[in-house]
Amino acid sequence: MKLSPTIQHWRKKLTQAVTGRLGQSRRPMHNPSNCTPTPIRRILIIRPNHRLGNTLLITSIVAEMEQLFPTATVDLFVKGGIASEVFREYPQVDRILALPKKHFKALGTYLWTWVRLRMRAYDLVINSVSHSSSGRLATAWARGTYKWYGDRNENVQVLRSQLIPHMAHGLVMDFRTFWIPQTLFMTPRPLPLMDIKLSVAEKNMGRALLDSMVSNEKKTIALFTYATGAKCYSPEWWIPFYQRLQTEFPNYQFIEILPAEHVSQIDFAAPTLYSKSIREMAAVIANCTLFIGADSGVMHLASAALTPTVGLFQVTDPAVYGPYGNHSFAADTRVMTTEILLERIHQTLDHIARENAQRIWPKVA
């Protein structure tokens, strides 16, 4: 059963109105002089969304749980099968409770997954997106001693003039200020990066795949020219931009990662990789010096492969969805010209080259 976009819109509005005030977050009381949380052994993180990007964005909160509660196990309540691939190398992740992507076609599995959610009691339940109706329902339904519905600590709005709206590290910071409000007054710990945790074997496989596509005499820049809907840049934008990249960076070679639709906005002008395995794609990107692509799941995959990532934005908010860490940056092409973008890429590659040189030739004291 497929609902019309209008019905979908109003259904979403109605469920958000009904569930918006559902549930009240609960945390242990902390002694300000001793901010060690109550021992936590079982954690549930909720993100019932099947998209690759949205699944990758919660790797940062899972990494935060590993740091805060190293002996705890983490269960995930998600949608679709992509989470099992994303979290394959996370030893702390135990159960993945996955709702089917189309619940009307698998109603029995859908209902049984909700039943399974109730079977295990948790010390801590985290809803990763506060405005998610299904997320709030799942948080209320789950059995948990402490629960966080994803709502921002009101003190954050009062005491922090610069909020972190990002879907990944903003979530981590909001959780910290919920769990230990004194975090507002502490020197912040580094925020965890998105990370798909590629194994050494996977990286070696990616290196071999890349070597089969292009020469290993030059460093490689990976492109992903596709995105869904209005996020997708046209061939009229990509073709001249690709030509400029070739001119500006003659010491680099280029490959293109193809989407499931097997289309290319540069008309297949570069060697291409087409793979149905997200970990194989990530392994190849991990062996590239830089990744450039529009806001998409593959852009987040590149960031989670720990490759410096340039995210191109023309519709969505780069402050919310942009890549971060490892010299990554978001380019809002509504206000950033191609010339400025190319200059930023030059600067990024220079930074990367200097860091690599320092690793090979460390400074002598």
Q: What is the per-residue pLDDT for 111? A: 96
Rounded-to-integer distance, Cα 328 and Cα 310, Å: 6
For 218-228, what is each residue's pLDDT tens digit?
999 999 999 99
With cut-offs at 50, 70 and 90, classify the pLDDT of residue 358: confident
The residues near 77 (Cβ < 8 Å, ≥ 6 apart) are: 44, 45, 46, 47, 48, 97, 99, 117, 138, 142
Amino acid at 82: I
For 64-95, what is each residue's pLDDT tens digit?
999 999 999 999 999 999 999 999 999 999 99
User: Is the model more confident about 123 or about 20?
Assistant: 123
Asked if residue 355 has pLDDT above 80, the reply is yes
Amino acid at 144: G
Query: Domain 200-360 carries which CATH code?
Result: 3.40.50.2000
**What is the pTM (predicted TM-score) of this model?**
0.88
Q: What is the per-residue pLDDT for 9? A: 47
Q: What is the per-residue pLDDT for 208? A: 98
Asked if residue 15 has pLDDT above 70, the reply is no
State the span(s) of the chain assigned CATH 3.40.50.2000.
42-185, 200-360
- Contacts for 313-321: CB closer than 8 Å, 24+ residues apart: 313/231, 314/230, 314/231, 314/233, 315/229, 315/230, 315/231, 316/231, 317/165, 319/165, 319/166, 320/165, 320/166, 320/167, 320/170, 321/53, 321/166, 321/167, 321/295
Q: What is the per-residue pLDDT for 6? A: 55
Share above pLDDT 90 across residues of the chain, in percent, rounded to a whole number: 75
Asked if residue 11 has pLDDT above 50, the reply is no
Q: What is the per-residue pLDDT for 14? A: 46
- Average pLDDT score over the chain: 89
Domain covering 42-185, topology: Rossmann fold (3.40.50)
Quickly list DSSP for 275-322.
-S-HHHHHHHHHTSSEEEEESSHHHHHHHHTT--EEEEESSS-HHHH-
Q: In the chain, what are the helix, strand and coil shares in percent, each to the nearest 5? A: 40, 15, 40
Q: What is the per-residue pLDDT for 25? A: 64
